[in-house]
Structure 1
């Protein structure tokens, strides 16, 4: 009986070795490392961790913005800088193979030109709600100071570069040699999973949006197009809500927009 057990264990060991040998090293690394960097970003990038252990030496007036900057910076670091470096150093990929080139920039520009006005109108309408004005921008002092607002949004943009590259760059192009066109759906899975705690309409839309953005990036051969398309939704909402809070204007028609601009200029 013991010899039979040993034989079975040896057979399973051989199967395991054969299975491991059949794995594509780059794809295996990319999918595993993507999970690792998500954990690192959520753990090390936590704003409360920053407040408790790192903010004590900063002037009190800076700590709130610095906490958001820490969160955004960790996303940019672990979502963009570290993954791009690993593909370059470990697998000797050039920028175009990693999705960092300009790609089909004419198509990307056309899509952005058609999409961004729609986002501008949609976020303008949403910003008329009191709940949105109370929540956006998340760092409330940015509402009353344009310098703070611009600095906050610049940090926020780095966050979006990290968020988009991790899925639409690192995972999409990193697994493409194995999965081909199916890599579009591979990168959409973890993206949707990270929206599971959001309100259900947003969670469902994240599935559609993840596939659509992945397909667009695949077609354009560059992840950069995903940054303005995704970031604009939040950054324009921040802008409209800030303008409404500063001017006290409500309504969604052109007269309301004109009043906002007039009061702002005055």
Structure 2
């Protein structure tokens, strides 16, 4: 008499508890979407969404600047961070939020900074830059608004660096060589500069590559923030030097360093 095949039954691990839904999400993401595909799809969608809606130039009101800030923090930091952590089990360090290798990335910051800073300063003397920056028009009319804008831009730049050089780069690198992942994350980053000064749009291609190399070699997004924010500050100071000087005096006065 032939043996009956063993009965096949579906089993569920009772120990999973409330983690079952999260486990299902992980399986779905891993089975149907590769890390590179997920990063690329989300990157393109968010870059387009941010540019078309909240990523547009903020209006004159303070509320517009705050919405601009929150949109970047939610779309480019909070949501990608949760996807990477729960969908692909990437720790915050694996997402580029650790210090990485400072001995290596300090060199990249110094070299790229020395190359880029003079070029940015001369570029901002052009009329198209002068008429476009600071990005928040209200920052040209009040030193308080100028300082607020700098704080907002620091947070926005962190959001961009985390998303492109942390989230996208590290997920893409799970499916492709590092050099391809660096190019991969640069594409939506450059797309996000569409509609700005043409020179800046072209420069964003090279900046995206340089920042990608820095983040990958240094294993951290923080050197990219150190490179990116000073460039933004130089642009604003060059475009509105009188207001920047007033804001500087106000800042010194606020901390008791000015008479």
Tell me, yes or no, whether TM beats 0.5.
Answer: yes
1:226 is displaced (CA, Å) by 1.5
User: What corresponds to 2:106 in structure 1?
Assistant: 109
Distance 1:122 1:164, change over 3 A: same
User: What corresponds to 1:184 in structure 2?
Assistant: 182
Distance 2:201 2:147 in 1: 29
Helix, strand or coil for the counterpart of 1:80? helix
1:81 is displaced (CA, Å) by 2.0
User: What corresponds to 2:93 in structure 1?
Assistant: 96
Is the CA contact (8 Å cut-off) linking 1:123 and 1:237 kept in structure 2? yes
Match of 2:70 among 69, 73, 76: 73
Please say if 1:45 is aligned against 2:42: no
| Structure 2 residues without counterparts, runs of 5 or longer | 1-28, 246-257
Match of 1:230 among 228, 231, 234: 228
Distance 1:189 1:197 in 2: 15
Higher helix share: 1
1:97 is displaced (CA, Å) by 1.4
Distance 1:24 1:130 in 2: 45
Please say if 1:132 is aligned against 2:129: yes
User: What corresponds to 1:27 in structure 2?
Assistant: 36
Match of 1:158 among 155, 158, 165: 155
| Structure 1 residues without counterparts, runs of 5 or longer | 1-19, 52-62, 248-264
With the length of structure 2 as denominator, give the TM-score of the two structures: 0.70
Distance 1:143 1:43, change over 3 A: closer
With the length of structure 1 as denominator, give the TM-score of the two structures: 0.68
Is the CA contact (8 Å cut-off) linking 1:102 and 1:224 kept in structure 2? yes
1:130 is displaced (CA, Å) by 5.0
RMSD of aligned Cα (Å): 3.3
Worse-matched range after superposition: 98-107 or 138-147: 138-147
User: Looking at both structures, which has the greater relative contact order when contacts are Cα pairs under 8 Å and sequence separation is at least 6?
Assistant: 2
Q: Deviations along 1:119-168, whole A, 9 cap, x unmatched? A: 55444444445553333213333234322211111111111122222221
Distance 2:133 2:198 in 1: 20
1:69 is displaced (CA, Å) by 2.7
Task: Kindly tell me the number of residue pairs found equivalent between the two proteins.
Answer: 219
Q: Deviations along 1:182-220, whole A, 9 cap, x unmatched? A: 211211222233445555544443332222221121111
Distance 1:152 1:223 in 2: 22
Is the CA contact (8 Å cut-off) linking 1:104 and 1:222 kept in structure 2? yes
User: What corresponds to 1:85 in structure 2?
Assistant: 82
